[in-house]
C-alpha cells in the first residue's frame, strides 16, 4: 500500500503521549485517594481492639459519654475528665499490636499528628491501653490516652 | 508546619548564599547575572517539586500504613486532603514550569551556568538528600528491629530518593563541572558528618558490649549498636558517592580548601582534643585522684565513646590535612594561604586547650591553698588532673602547628609575616586575650570589694575568686606574649611596603602573580588579565621592587614596550562622578592645537 503525502502517524502518536500520561496520572491519583479515604477496618467490638477502636473514635468525635461507657467499672476516670482534653483535628491512631492473657489484655497504638513538629517525619508516640474482661465485655482500665490524670467526678 | 516551612526556607536561603558566592567569585567568566524572572521561575519549580514530593510521599505512606500493617483505628480526612492538594496543584505546576526551563536549557547553553540553575539543582539535590537520609535511617531502624514499624518512613525514603536521583542525574548531565562543586561538597559534608557520628556510635557501643559497660541506663546497648550501624551505613553510602566517587577528584580551590579545613582542622582537632582530654582525665582521676563513681564500670562508661571520638578526630585531621598538600593548578607550588589557615587555626585550637588547662591548674592551686575553708566539692587533685590532661594534649597540638608556622617564618619571612592569616591570628589572640583579661579583672576586683565592704575579707575570698584569677593570669599571659610578638614583627616589616595599600596589575595573566605580590607587599592586589592573550610573563620580583619604590598610596602597574611601569595613584581622590570626553577625529599627531570645541574634559 502506498501513501500520498507525509506520514503523520508517528507525530499523532507522539502528541498522544502527554494526553495518555496525564490521564494515567489522574487515574492513579484518583485510585490512591479513594484507597486512603476508605473507612478504616472495623474491628469486632467484642475484641480488645474493637473496644479501643470504638473508644478512640468516640473521643476524637467528642462523644465523651460514649467513650466513658467503655471504661472499666473501677476506673478512676469519668466523662468529665475526657471533656477537659484537647485533641488536634489531624490526630491519627494506628494499631501496633495486642496481647490477651486470660481476663487481661493490652492494646498498643501509635498516636501521631500529621504533619508533626518534625519536618523530616514524626512517627508519633506509642500508647498502651490496658483492658479487663467484665460481664459486659472488654473494658478499658487505668488512665487511658488521652488522659494523664483523672478526678473521676461527674460534676 | 511552621517549623517545617521555616527549616525549608533556611535550607533554600543557605543554598542560595553558597551558590551566589560561586557565581560571583572572580574568574567565573561564564557566570551570568540572572534576572529576577529567571530566579522566580526556578523558585517556583523548586516549590512545585518539594510540594509534589511531600504529597506523593504522604499518600504512599498512607497506602502502606493502611494495607501493609494493622492499619489505622480511626481515619480522618485532613491528611489525605492535604496530600491530595499538594499533588493536584504541585504536579501540573512542576510539569509546566519544568517544560519552560527545559526549553531554556536546550536553546541557551549559557543557562546551564546561570545562578538560577545552579541554585535550583543544588537545592533540588541537597534537600531531598537530607529527607531521604533520615527516612532511610528510620526505615533501617524498623528493619533491624530497633524502632517500631514505620511505613511512612519507607514511603518517604522511596519517593525522596527518586527525587534526589532525578536531580542528581540532571546535575551530572547538564551542569558544567566547576559549577557543581558546592553541591558535591555539601553532599560530602552531610555524608561525612553522618558517617563520623555512626562510626563513633558503632565503635563505642561495640566496646561497651565487649567490656560489659552500659552508657544509657534505659536503652539496650544492642539497640544502640544497631541504630549506630544504620547511621554509619547511610552516611558511608552518601560520602562514598559524593566525596570518594566525585568530589575528591576535584583540583584544589577555594571551596575544596574550605571543606578540607572545616572537616580536618576544625572538626578533626576539636573532636580529637576533646575526646582525648576527657578520656585521659578519666584514666588519671581513676589512677591518681578521687573518683566519684563506686566502680570502674560506672567510672569508665563514657570512655569507649570518648576514645572513638578521639580516633575519629585524628582520622579526620589526617585525611583532610593531606588534601591541602596537593598542588594548586593556578598557583606556584609552596606554602599558600590555605596552609597558613591550617597551621594558625590548629595553633589557636591547641592554645585554647592549653589555656583551659592553665586556668584549671591555677584553680587547683588556689583550691589546695584554701582547702581549710572548703566544705564540699570536687577534690583539688581531680581538678589538677583534668588540668594536666588538657595541658598534655593541648600543648603538643599548639606547639606542632606553631613550630610549622615559625619554620615558614624563618625560610620565607616576607610573605609569612605579611600574610593576612598570621597578622589576623596575632591580633585576634591578643585582642581576645585582652578582652577576657579585662572581664576577669572586673570579676576579681568585684569579689574583693564585695567582701571588703562587708568586712569579710578572709581566706574564703581568695577561694571564691579562684576561677576569675585563673582566667586573668592565663589571658594576660597569652595576650602579652602575642602582643609583643605582633609589635616585633610590625617593626620588622619595611616601611615602604606598608605605604602602598592597593595595587592594580593591568595585563598580568597569571593569577599566581597577584597572590605572590600580595604576599610580598602586604597590599591588596587586583589583577586584570589581558583578553587578547598577548603579553609576556610578569616577574614577581620586578613588580614587588616597583611597588616598594613607588610613593603610593596606590599603584597601577602596566606593561609597556620598555618593560613594567608603576604609576602611583590615589584611589580615594578618584571621586569624579562623570567624565565626558568628546570624540576627536583621528588626525596627524603633529601639534596639539587647543580648540574651544574639542578635547575638553568636564567633570561634575
Left if phi > 0, otherwise alpha if psi is -120 to 50, otherwise beta: which for B515? alpha
- B344 shares its domain with B458: yes
Give the end of a domain, one of B175, B205, B227: B175
Establish if B73 belongs to a structural domain: yes
Contact B74 A39 (CB under 8 A): no
Residue B588 maps to a domain = no
Chain B residue numbers touching A67 (CB-CB < 8 A): none
Q: Where are the domains of chain A?
A: 7-38, 48-141
Q: Where are the beta strands (DSSP E) in A22-124?
A: 91-101, 104-113
Q: A90 to chain B: which residues are within 8 Å by CB? A: 76, 78-79
Condensed to tens digits (0 to 9), the pLDDT of residues B457-482 reads 888 888 888 999 999 999 999 999 99
In-domain check, residue B467? yes
Across B265-279, B348-362, B411-425, B494-508, least confident range: B494-508
Region B150-159 average pLDDT? 91
Q: B84 and A33 in contact by Cβ < 8 A?
A: yes
**CA pair distance A24, B435, nearest whole angstrom:** 69
Contacts of B7 in chain A (CB under 8 A): 119
Q: Calculate the alpha carbon distances from B374 to A70, B368, B454, B459 in Å.
A: 62, 10, 20, 10
Work out the average pLDDT over A72-92.
85
- Chain segment B67-100, per-residue pLDDT in tens: 887 778 887 777 888 889 999 999 999 999 999 8
Please answer yes or no on whether A36 and B7 come within 8 Å at the CB atom: no
Q: What is the CATH number that goes with domain A48-141? A: 3.10.450.50
Question: Residue B119's closest CA among B255, B230, B251, B17?
Answer: B17
Same domain, B115 and B28: yes
Summarize pLDDT for B281-327 with one digit per residue, the tens. Answer: 999 998 888 888 778 888 888 899 999 999 999 999 999 988 888 77
What mean pLDDT is reported for chain B?
83
Using a CB-CB distance cutoff of 8 angstroms, which residues of chain B are in contact with residue A44?
Answer: none
- Chain B contacts of A120, Cβ < 8 Å? 130-131, 134-135
Cell of A120: 523530616
Position B468 scores a pLDDT of 93
Q: What CA–CA distance (Å, rounded) separates A141 from A74?
A: 8
Is the pLDDT confidence value at B603 over 60?
Answer: no
- Co-location of B466 and B571 in the same domain: no
Residue B450 lies in a domain: yes
Exposure letters B516-554 (e unless 16+ CB within 10 A, then b)? bbbbbbbbebebeeeeeeeeeebebeebbebbbebebbb
- Looking at per-residue pLDDT, the higher value among B346 and B559 belongs to B346
**Span B442-460, pLDDT tens digits:** 999 999 999 999 888 888 8
A37/B75 Cβ within 8 A: yes
- What average pLDDT does this structure show over B251-262? 86
B366-375: average pLDDT: 79
Q: Per the CB < 8 Å rule, is A53 touching B74?
A: yes
Q: How far is CA B205 from CA A47, B198, B418, in A?
A: 42, 10, 49
Cis peptide before B298 (omega within 30 of 0): no
Whether omega before B553 lies within 30 degrees of 0, making that bond cis, reads yes
Q: Are residues B19 and B128 in the same domain?
A: yes
Interface of A with B in 2-41 (CB under 8 A): 25, 29, 32-33, 35-41
- Regarding whether B485 and B533 lie in a shared domain, the answer is no
Encode pLDDT of A17-30 as tens digits: 888 888 888 899 88
* Virtual torsion, Cα B433, B436, B439, B443, nearest 10 deg: -110
Cell numbers 566502680 correspond to what residue?
A: B295
**A120 and B130 in contact by Cβ < 8 A?**
yes
Residues B23, B164, single domain; the answer is yes
* Same-domain check for residues B525 and B482: no
| Cβ neighbours for B214, distance < 8 A, ≥ 6 positions apart | B208, B221, B297, B301
pLDDT per position as a tens digit, A95-108: 888 899 988 999 98
Chain B positions touching A52 (Cβ under 8 A) are 73
Q: Number of structural domains, chain B?
A: 3
Would you say A130 and A151 are in contact if contact means Cβ atoms under 8 Å apart?
A: no
Structural domain harbouring B87: 2-175
Structure confidence at residue B522 as a pLDDT band (50, 70, 90): confident
B-facing residues of A in 51-110 (CB < 8 A) are 52-53, 56-57, 60, 89-97, 109-110
CA-to-CA separations, A36 to B71, B76, B81, in angstroms, rounded: 11, 10, 10
pLDDT reported for residue B12 = 57
Domain boundary at B156, B175, B194, which?
B175
Residue B198 lies in a domain: no
Where a domain ends, among B462, B493, B524? Answer: B493
Q: Can you tell me the distance from the alpha carbon of B394 to that of B397, in angstroms, rounded to the nearest whole number?
A: 5
Looking at the predicted structure, is the pLDDT value of residue B132 above 90?
yes
What pLDDT was estimated at residue B109?
81
pLDDT at position B197 is 95
Give B497's pLDDT tier (boundaries 50, 70, 90). Answer: very low
CB contact (8 A) between residue A123 and residue B67: no
Q: What is the DSSP letter of B109?
A: G
Residues B377 and B507 in one domain: no
The verdict on B478 and B519 lying in the same domain is no
Amino acid at each position: 500500500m502506498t501513501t500520498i503525502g507525509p506520514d503523520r502517524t508517528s507525530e499523532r502518536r507522539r502528541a498522544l503521549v502527554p494526553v495518555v500520561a496525564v490521564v494515567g496520572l489522574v487515574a492513579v491519583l484518583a485510585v490512591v485517594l479513594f484507597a486512603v479515604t476508605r473507612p478504616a477496618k472495623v474491628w469486632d467490638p467484642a475484641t480488645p481492639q474493637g473496644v479501643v477502636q470504638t473508644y478512640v473514635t468516640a473521643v476524637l468525635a467528642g462523644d465523651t459519654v460514649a467513650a466513658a461507657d467503655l471504661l472499666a467499672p473501677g476506673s478512676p476516670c469519668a466523662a468529665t475528665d475526657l471533656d477537659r482534653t484537647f485533641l488536634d483535628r489531624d490526630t491519627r491512631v494506628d494499631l501496633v499490636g495486642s496481647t490477651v492473657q486470660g481476663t487481661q489484655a493490652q492494646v498498643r497504638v501509635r498516636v501521631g499528628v500529621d504533619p508533626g513538629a518534625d519536618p523530616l517525619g514524626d512517627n508519633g508516640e506509642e500508647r498502651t491501653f490496658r483492658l479487663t474482661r467484665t460481664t459486659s465485655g472488654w473494658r478499658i482500665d487505668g488512665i487511658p490516652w488521652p488522659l494523664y490524670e483523672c478526678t473521676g467526678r461527674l460534676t | 508546619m511552621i517549623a517545617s516551612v521555616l527549616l525549608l526556607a533556611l535550607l533554600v536561603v543557605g543554598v542560595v548564599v553558597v551558590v551566589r558566592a560561586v557565581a560571583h567569585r572572580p574568574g567565573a567568566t561564564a557566570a551570568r547575572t540572572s534576572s529576577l524572572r529567571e530566579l522566580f521561575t526556578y523558585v517556583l519549580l523548586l516549590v512545585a517539586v518539594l510540594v509534589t514530593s511531600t504529597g506523593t510521599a504522604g499518600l504512599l505512606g498512607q497506602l502502606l500504613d493502611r494495607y501493609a500493617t494493622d492499619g489505622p483505628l480511626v481515619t480522618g480526612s485532613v491528611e489525605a486532603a492535604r496530600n491530595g492538594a499538594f499533588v493536584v496543584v504541585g504536579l501540573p505546576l512542576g510539569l509546566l514550569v519544568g517544560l519552560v526551563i527545559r526549553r531554556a536549557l536546550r536553546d541557551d547553553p549559557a543557562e546551564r551556568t546561570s545562578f538560577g540553575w545552579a541554585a535550583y539543582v543544588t537545592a533540588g539535590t541537597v534537600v531531598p538528600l537530607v529527607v531521604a537520609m533520615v527516612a532511610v535511617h528510620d526505615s533501617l531502624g524498623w528493619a533491624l528491629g530497633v524502632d517500631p514499624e514505620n511505613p511512612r518512613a519507607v514511603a518517604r525514603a522511596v519517593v525522596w530518593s527518586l527525587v534526589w536521583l532525578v536531580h542528581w542525574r540532571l546535575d551530572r548531565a547538564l551542569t558544567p563541572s566547576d559549577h557543581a562543586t558546592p553541591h558535591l561538597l555539601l553532599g560530602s559534608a552531610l555524608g561525612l558528618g553522618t558517617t563520623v557520628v555512626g562510626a563513633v556510635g558503632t565503635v563505642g557501643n561495640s566496646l561497651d558490649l565487649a567490656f560489659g559497660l552500659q552508657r544509657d541506663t534505659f536503652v539496650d546497648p544492642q539497640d544502640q549498636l544497631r541504630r549506630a550501624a544504620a547511621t554509619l551505613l547511610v552516611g558511608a553510602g552518601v560520602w562514598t558517592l559524593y566525596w570518594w566517587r566525585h568530589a575528591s577528584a576535584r583540583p584544589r580551590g577555594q571551596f575544596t580548601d574550605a571543606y578540607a579545613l572545616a572537616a580536618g582542622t576544625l572538626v578533626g582537632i576539636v573532636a580529637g582534643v576533646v575526646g582525648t582530654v576527657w578520656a585521659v582525665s578519666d584514666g588519671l582521676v581513676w589512677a591518681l585522684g578521687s573518683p566519684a563513681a563506686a566502680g570502674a564500670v560506672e567510672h569508665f562508661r563514657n570512655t569507649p565513646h570518648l576514645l572513638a571520638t578521639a580516633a575519629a578526630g585524628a582520622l579526620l585531621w589526617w585525611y583532610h590535612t593531606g588534601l591541602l598538600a596537593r598542588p594548586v593548578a593556578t598557583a606556584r607550588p609552596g606554602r599558600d594561604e590555605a596552609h597558613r589557615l591550617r597551621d594558625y587555626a590548629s595553633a589557636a585550637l591547641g592554645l585554647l586547650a592549653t589555656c583551659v588547662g592553665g586556668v584549671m591548674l591555677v584553680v587547683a592551686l588556689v583550691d589546695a591553698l584554701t582547702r581549710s575553708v572548703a566544705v564540699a566539692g570536687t577534690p583539688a587533685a581531680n581538678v589538677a588532673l583534668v588540668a594536666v590532661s588538657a595541658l598534655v594534649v593541648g600543648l603538643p597540638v599548639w606547639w606542632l602547628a606553631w613550630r610549622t608556622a615559625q619554620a615558614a617564618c624563618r625560610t620565607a619571612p616576607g610573605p609569612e609575616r605579611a600574610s593576612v592569616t598570621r597578622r589576623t591570628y596575632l591580633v585576634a589572640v591578643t585582642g581576645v586575650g585582652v578582652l577576657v583579661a579585662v572581664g576577669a579583672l572586673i570579676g576579681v576586683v568585684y569579689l574583693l570589694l564585695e567582701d571588703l565592704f562587708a568586712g569579710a575579707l578572709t581566706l574564703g575570698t581568695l577561694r571564691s575568686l579562684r576561677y576569675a584569677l585563673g582566667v586573668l593570669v592565663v589571658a594576660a599571659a597569652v595576650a602579652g606574649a602575642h602582643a609583643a610578638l605582633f609589635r616585633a614583627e610590625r617593626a620588622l616589616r619595611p616601611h615602604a611596603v606598608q605605604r602602598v595599600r592597593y595595587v592594580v596589575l593591568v595585563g598580568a595573566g597569571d593569577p599566581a602573580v597577584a597572590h605572590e605580590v600580595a604576599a610580598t607587599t602586604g597590599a591588596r592586589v587586583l589583577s586584570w588579565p589581558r583578553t587578547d592573550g598577548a603579553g609576556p610573563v610578569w616577574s614577581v620580583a620586578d613588580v614587588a621592587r616597583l611597588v616598594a619604590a613607588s610613593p603610593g598610596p596606590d599603584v597601577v602597574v602596566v606593561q609597556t614596550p620598555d618593560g613594567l611601569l608603576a604609576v602611583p595613584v590615589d584611589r580615594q581622590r578618584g571621586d569624579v562622578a562623570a567624565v565626558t570626553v568628546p570624540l576627536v577625529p583621528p588626525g596627524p599627531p603633529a601639534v596639539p592645537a587647543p580648540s574651544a570645541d574639542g578635547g575638553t574634559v568636564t567633570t561634575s
